[in-house]
Amino acid sequence: MEIIQVVNCTKDYHSDGQIVHALRGVHLSLHKGEFAAIAGPSGSGKTTLLNCIGGLDYSTQGNVYIEGTDISKLSPKELSRLRLFKIGFIFQAYNLIPVLTALENVEYILLLQGMGDSNRKRKAAEVLELVGLKDEMHRLPHELSGGQQQRVAIARAIVSSPAIVLADEPTANVDQKTGSALLDLMEHLNKEKQITFLFSTHDPMVMKRAHRLINIIDGMIVKDTLVKRKNK
Amino acid sequence: MKKDFEIISMLAWRNVWRNKRRTILTLCTIVVGCAMIILLNAFAKGGHDQMIEDATGLVMGHIHIHEKGYWENKTIDYAFEADESIEKALSSNTHIRAYCKRIMCDALIAKGGTTKGVMIQGVEPVREKQVCGLYKCIIKGRYLSDSDSTHAVIGATLAQNLKVDVGNTIAIISQGFDGSIAAEHLTIAGIFKSGNPEYDKFLLQMPLKQADETFSMMGYIHAYVIKASRIDNIDAITSSLSKKLPNNVEVLGWEKLMPELVQFIIMDDVSGYLFDLMLFLVVAFGILNTIQMSVYERTRELGIMKAVGTTPGQIVALVILETFFITVIGVLLGVALGAGISYYFTVHPIDYSQYSEEIAVWGITTTIFPATVTIANTVVTAVLTMIVSLLFCIFPARRASKLHPVEAIRHI
């Protein structure tokens, strides 16, 4: 089943009176449970594509479908609801709410979804345990290391069991060892919970670990490769 | 909806204390602003009440009952019969502290070769003392008593102009109520100095009984003068009496008796309101600055919140609640401080009596300036501060809600 479908997507920016073509007629389909990476140099359009898929940005032309819904026709409020219930986000860094503890950051999504107290706390604690932060769940973000903060962000992204997790260069601000551990964790979640992961990255380690590698240059997909991985 | 409010209010509360120094500075602005507004309004109210008391307390009284037309014409012809129904209405009104009858007319006063125009008031000495305080201003001799007949008290300036002293006899001549010539010799029992140039120069008081005889009033009087238990009760007394009294009389409160004082108080209130407005704006811009900076600093965080599913409405609610929390704390502290200081000055009024002679040069007789803090003053100040602050936070709240997640997340 196609969980993401991008049809002839273009995105133009106006910068200093010039039109910048960030995406030029991109076509892309992703199926449930894929662990894919969009790779390319800086300015190639990978984050723009991720933003269009995540409903953070509207495409100039073309359509983006999430589980069959054309998100380019949704209002800002409807897009908020879509992101809340269907999509989990992981950003490069500093993406937690500083005044909330790790547990509350994870609970925040469930609260917005209207989940009851006991279920919400239990579920958030379970997910934090899953990402290895059982003992740090009552700490504020500034009391956690960069790697631990990214684990909280992963926990927040998957806590509501979204259809897709979009990760924008999730290993960019952590060391290689921590990056590798984060990828282990996301790969495990992909396998165990069948969550679709789509990364934007120029980290060779992420490209190496992705099951599908989509290369993008100058706003166009130039290569889309399925990689066979040995089961660990 | 309930869950939304729960999380948004928790976030707002924590955000308020995120930058403690800035929040405390903003709170100081609100507290000082609120307290100043309450204190200034309390002094204005207290000062006005004192002015009214001073202006009405000596001679005028709070309320007059006249025959219709008397106050416009002020001639001896507009007199009415002091019947029992009026006395009953006055004595049964619980807001009235005291009342007395008066006969009032203009006359000529003569001593030797000097003649002056005077205002004569025939008063009931004992009851008059319960209503007005002129008896306290006697500087020589004594005030009138119920046993007096052809006695009078006069103002110090008038005494000086006539070159008379206590014990001297003066002659008065005027027109009687029946059209006859009214003339009498009066012995000066006392001389008063009220501080009011008009009273000191033109006023003469004599016993009501004697005035009735001298001016052939035949039991008719020109006024009932009433002292209310509180200034705030004057309107209630006026409207209640107006319904009960006969049609030929009118009930006039001090506002109608002294329109120039009303004008002064209105002018003073207007300048007070302008000052209040400035203080409200200082508070409002303090809030605006804090919330604007707070939103700007959190641009990336707000972008992330929007990205993970927080709706624009929830962002607006967050910013408004942050403002609400800061303002509520500031207003509560400001009201407590303002009301506390005002109460102190209610109990310990500012006393300029040692400078009364210097002040009298400017024609001001009020030397005590108390503050009067009222519930209306504090509630209106608190509510207006809340409204102004919340109105001023709408702009940064809307700006925060309209942030584009992608651009906001790129913000450093």
Could you give the CA distance from residue B76 to residue B174 in angstroms, rounded to a whole number?
10
Could you give the CA distance from residue A10 to residue A30 in angstroms, rounded to a whole number?
18
pLDDT, chain B, mean: 90
Which band of pLDDT confidence, cut at 50, 70 and 90, is reported for residue B365?
low
pLDDT of residue A232: 47
Q: Report, as an integer, the average pLDDT of B54-80.
A: 91
Q: Report, as an integer, the average pLDDT of A15-39.
A: 90
Q: For residue B115, what is the enclosing H or E element?
A: strand B114-123
Which band of pLDDT confidence, cut at 50, 70 and 90, is reported for residue B360?
low
What is the separation of C-alpha A31 from the centre of its chain, rounded to a whole number of angstroms?
15
Could you give the CA distance from residue A29 to residue A7 in angstroms, rounded to a whole number?
9
Which band of pLDDT confidence, cut at 50, 70 and 90, is reported for residue A14?
confident
> Residue B11 and residue A109: Cβ atoms within 8 Å?
no
pLDDT of residue B134: 93
> Residue A91 and residue B11: Cβ atoms within 8 Å?
no
Give the single-character DSSP code of B228. E
Torsion of CA B339, B344, B345, B351, to 10 degrees: -170
Q: Which residues of chain A neighbour B308 with C-beta distances below 8 Å?
A: 83-84, 89, 108-109, 112, 156
Torsion of CA B279, B284, B287, B292, to 10 degrees: -140
Tokens of B267: 């002018």
Q: Report, as an integer, the average pLDDT of B304-314.
A: 89
Torsion of CA B252, B255, B258, B261, to 10 degrees: 170
Q: Pick the residue from chain B with its C-alpha nearest to A49.
A: B406
Name the residue type at position B69: G
Q: Report, as an integer, the average pLDDT of B62-80.
A: 92
Residues on chain A bordering chain B, Cβ-to-Cβ distance under 8 angstroms: 51, 54, 56-57, 76-77, 80-81, 83-85, 89, 91, 94-100, 108-109, 111-112, 114-115, 156
pLDDT of residue A27: 93
Name the residue type at position B396: P
Tokens of A35: 């662990």
> Residue A84 and residue B309: Cβ atoms within 8 Å?
yes
Could you give the CA distance from residue A39 to residue B40 in angstroms, rounded to a whole number?
68
Could you give the CA distance from residue B232 to residue B401 in angstroms, rounded to a whole number?
49
CB proximity B267 to A under 8 Å: no
Q: Where are chain A's structural domains?
A: 2-226
- Across A118-132, B48-62, B122-136, B249-263, the highest mean pLDDT is recorded for B122-136
Which band of pLDDT confidence, cut at 50, 70 and 90, is reported for residue B3?
low
Could you give the CA distance from residue B33 to residue B20 in angstroms, rounded to a whole number?
20
B371 phi-psi bin (left φ>0, alpha ψ -120 to 50, beta other): beta
CB proximity B4 to A under 8 Å: yes
Superfamily for domain range A2-226: P-loop containing nucleotide triphosphate hydrolases (3.40.50.300)
Q: Pick the residue from chain A with its C-alpha nearest to B405.
A: A56
The alpha-carbon gap from A222 to the nearest alpha carbon of chain B, in Å, equals 25
Top-confidence residue, B406 or B269: B269
Q: Report, as an integer, the average pLDDT of B16-44.
A: 92
CB pairs under 8 A between A and B: 66
Q: Pick the residue from chain A with its C-alpha nearest to B11.
A: A99
Strand ranges (E), chain A: 2-15, 18-31, 35-39, 61-66, 69-70, 87-90, 164-168, 196-201, 212-217, 220-226
Could you give the CA distance from residue B281 to residue B261 in angstroms, rounded to a whole number?
30
Q: Report, as an integer, the average pLDDT of A199-228.
A: 89
CB B23 within 8 A of CB B290: yes
CB proximity B141 to A under 8 Å: no
CA angle A140, A144, A147 (to 5 degrees): 135
Strands B63-67 and B223-228: antiparallel
Could you give the CA distance from residue B87 to residue B245 in angstroms, rounded to a whole number?
10
> Residue B3 and residue A99: Cβ atoms within 8 Å?
no
Could you give the CA distance from residue B366 to residue A224 in angstroms, rounded to a whole number?
93
pLDDT digits (tens, 9 = 90+) for A52-110: 999 888 889 999 999 989 998 888 888 888 889 999 998 887 689 999 999 999 999 99
Q: Is B175 exposed, middle or buried (0-12, 13-18, 19+ CB in 10 A)?
A: middle
B319 pLDDT higher than 90: yes
Q: Where are chain B's structural domains?
A: 2-55+262-410, 69-247
Which band of pLDDT confidence, cut at 50, 70 and 90, is reported for residue B8?
confident
Residues 6+ apart with CB under 8 A from B412: B300
Tell me phi and psi for residue A175, to 5 degrees: -70, 170
Q: Which residues of chain B neighbour A156 with C-beta distances below 8 Å?
A: 308
Q: Which residues of chain B neighbour A96 with C-beta distances below 8 Å?
A: 304
Q: Pick the residue from chain B with its C-alpha nearest to A50.
A: B406
Q: How many other C-beta atoms lie within 10 A of the C-beta of residue A95?
A: 26
Q: Which of A79, A97, A104, A150 has the most B C-beta neighbours within 10 Å, making it the best mutation to test the interface with B?
A: A97
pLDDT digits (tens, 9 = 90+) for B187-223: 999 999 988 888 999 999 999 999 999 999 999 999 9
CB proximity B405 to A under 8 Å: yes
Q: Which residues of chain B neighbour A121 with C-beta distances below 8 Å?
A: none
Q: Pick the residue from chain B with its C-alpha nearest to A81.
A: B309
CA angle A111, A75, B311 (to 5 degrees): 25
B363 pLDDT higher than 60: no
B42 pLDDT higher than 60: yes
Could you give the CA distance from residue B329 to residue B349 in angstroms, rounded to a whole number?
29
The ipTM is 0.85
Q: Pick the residue from chain B with its C-alpha nearest to A94.
A: B301
Q: Report, as an integer, the average pLDDT of B121-141.
A: 94
Q: For residue B330, what is the enclosing H or E element?
A: helix B312-347
Classified as helix, coil or strand, B108 is strand
pLDDT, chain A, mean: 88
> Residue A99 and residue B305: Cβ atoms within 8 Å?
no
Could you give the CA distance from residue B252 to residue B329 in angstroms, rounded to a whole number?
45
Q: How many other C-beta atoms lie within 10 A of the C-beta of residue B227?
A: 18
For residue B378, what are the CA distances in angstroms to B44, B332, B348?
A: 14, 10, 20
